[in-house]
Amino acid sequence: MVLSGKDLSYREIVANAVVGRGSKYSQTTYTIRPANRPTTIGGCWIMNHTYDAELVGDYVEVHGRFDINVWYSYNGNSETAVAKDTVSYVEQIALRDLDTTADRDSREVHVKVVQNPNCLDATVTGNGSEILVRCEKELAVEVVGRTKLCVVTCELAEKKEEDFLEDDEEMLEEVDVEDR
């Protein structure tokens, strides 16, 4: 069947949808000041990552923090200790395809951690009193909000109720199921 322009119309549907998204990869170097003068680094790990986010204009600002733990030797490699520090960060993530017509009061920001904060390397500084820890992380954000969708509609050709029943009966077929 061919539809003409007079057969078509549209409806506006209000729905929650993704109205903006973005992502950001970053590397940051943090300075850890241990209680003793480190000789060598034995290992470094990151844990307890927490964050929250808010929509600010046309970008999302993510505020986060995590703990850095560095295992190191000191006193001429004769003793070891763990230096612990909690660091904070703020990431501004630009949004692409932001629907500015979406209801501002209904917007929610969702953050997905693509790459958890991870230690790339840890080195003792030149003067030997601090440890530099280079970390990476990747965050993705979506803004979900109430927006209008425009849907093209058309009138259905008149069809009798019996026609629908006949179609359904042809599609249904009896199937035997065995217990295993």
Q: Give the residue, 23 or 163, on which the prediction is more confident.
A: 23
Tokens of 49: 């990552």
Q: What is the pLDDT of residue 46?
A: 97
In angstroms, rounded to a whole number, what is the distance separating the alpha carbons of residues 94 and 116? Answer: 19
In angstroms, rounded to a whole number, what is the distance separating the alpha carbons of residues 27 and 93? Answer: 14
Mean pLDDT within 152-165: 65
| Mean residue pLDDT across the chain | 87
SS3 letters for 58-112? Answer: CEEEEEEEEEEEEEEEECCCCEEEEEEEEEEEEEEEECECCCCCCCHHHCEEEEE
pLDDT, tens digit, for every residue of 21-71? Answer: 999 999 999 999 999 999 999 999 999 999 999 999 889 999 999 999 999
**In Å, how far from its chain's centre is CA 65?**
16
**Residue 112 banded pLDDT, cuts 50, 70, 90:** very high
Determine the 3-state secondary structure of 179 from DSSP: coil
> What does pTM read for this prediction?
0.76
